[in-house]
Structure 1
Amino acid sequence: MSPRYTEHDQEHYERPRRRTRPRTKDRPSYDDAEEAVVVTVDRGRFTLDLDGRRVMAMKSRPLGRKGVVVGDRVRVVGDTSGDDGTLARIVEVVDRSTVLRRTADDDDPVERIIVANADQLVVVTALADPEPRPRLIDRALVAAYVSGMEPILVLTKADLASPDDLLATYRSLGVPWLVTGRDPETGEPREEDVAALRDRLRGHVSVLLGHSGVGKSTLVNALVPDAGRDTGSVNAVTGRGRHTSTNAVMIPLPDDDGAIVDTPGIRSFGLAHVQPEDLIETFPDLEAMTAECPRGCTHTAEEPECGLDAAVARGDADPERVDSFRRLLAARYDSTSW
């Protein structure tokens, strides 16, 4: 059979092949890269803090789909002057010390990283207006323990309700707590309460987490007077706050003595990434008592031969602490009440 094209036809000539150019195995070393911290993320652009100046940057292609989040320490190249119109390039994300994660709900396999490299999780909840939601507090504590962060419970609007009942719920867990109220004349947080909170945050990178309307941004403005975070009110019909913070932002504390991360108000906190063995490891005193548990024990109250029950019966474990641990464990599986 004769060929389809002759040597005189244009189609006869071989067309250029794709990717004929040899790729080099050598990659840039980026020896001149500078290290910075991501302070906020907005639609694919990253605002960095580099030696006290704000630098806009984008993610380089070799990073692929690797996420870059607030709190990340990154290496950047390009124009790092911070002048208007300049854009640097993030070429590497430094290994993270901690990662605060959540999922949209408990059966969502996709983890969302909220903040990296923070060492304190400040769970902010109002004692009234809006009403406290202990289930969310429990879930935030689980996330803090599993990520290796120190949790702190901050109760706001103490001028409207007593904190005693809520604090009693968490006393056996040993969670540090602070109570803040509002000055009757100005409506702003009391100065002595803000000073106590500032002392607790000094020298740390702390994430503020809570529902909309609980007063996170108000506390941020009190801690950092020039922060300029928007504040909102609570809807009288739904009892829920209005979103005022739309994205997480890291704000340095005065005198460069630590930083706080203000996060948008959340409506849910999924824990699909947390397993029972992850949580028990964060309670070393209780984990030692599970050595006699049968294989596959989830350590819940429904387990017939859990070592925690045996330890309580012998008097080796504090029953209130075991109950508190199991309440946190139950929060991993129960998303019906927030």
Structure 2
Amino acid sequence: MHCGSTLAFVPELLCMAALAPAPQDGPDLWRRMGLRGSADCSGRLYRLCANHAAYDACNFALPAHDFSPLCVSCRQTRVLPDLSEPANLGRWKQIEAAKRQLFYTLARLGLEPAPGRSGPVFEFLADWPGGPPVLTGHHGGTITLNVAEADDGERARRRVALGEPYRTLIGHLRHESGHFYWDQLVRDGHCLEAFRSLFGDERLDYAAALRAHYAKGSDTGDWRPHHVSSYAASHPWEDWAETWAHYLHMVDLLETAASYQTSLSVPDPHAAQRHQVSDPFASPRPAFDDMVRQWVPLTLLLNSLNRSLGQSDAYPFALSPGALRKLRFAHDLLMQPPAG
């Protein structure tokens, strides 16, 4: 708004960039602007994602020579709801925004895009009158999301009905991506025994485990010593997906706080230690214990600010030693150098 430049996210650079029109190089081409608004001497030319022009639904750019009209995030969406329905158009745009946020975090972790590894594909579907309900989930590399989750009222209704303290679009996508990367990193990463010793045996009957979980009804609280959520206690696969989503929450929030150079201390006269939040993606990567030491006061501040505005806690969790051991497992797995 200050300089009037067209802004776009450049996935290959993992940053926002100001773009200048480059009609001399071809129609609908843009060149990244350099310092003080000068043209980038690298000669890189970009196009805006086709979903930007058609629906104002994307802010990613792609190289001018790319084969696809869609950016690397939008092209992962294989099935859309009927976009002639205005409500579906708004829902889809919200979901794509959350998916771009997921893409960014996974890319910062070296997972997407990555040589020799393809990311998940997505199907965003709407319920039809008289048809079977669309269930959010993951199967065989495809993540399905019911677009009704983009409606605040419907999402709140389901959150209350299922006894969940936290239910968001980005939370759904992070959770379901955990199932995808379980196949990639755990099953195919030769660490099944280490996983089973901590999370349990994933060969347990999955359908029976979920039936038992939902039959319990009210939250008994017996999950707290070992899991990040009640749903995590239903089955080892869900335990991993909930832990994975939680780890992505952690690194994303820490990175945002670090970008604002956040420094804080717990408001206690006997607690003199001050915490400078560090970027979890910095090189070298911070140790997991250091991340947790920053995470606890940061989430305390976040919740206290929300309460001051009369809002519910943004982070309605308290991590037990058992949950932290599982988060450390995810962290250590991601810190391993890529195979080959």
| Higher relative contact order structure (alpha carbons within 8 Å, sequence separation ≥ 6) | 1
Question: Bigger radius of gyration, 1 or 2?
Answer: 1
What TM-score does the superposition give when structure 2 sets the normalisation length?
0.26
Structure number having the greater helix percentage:
2
Structure number having the greater strand percentage:
1
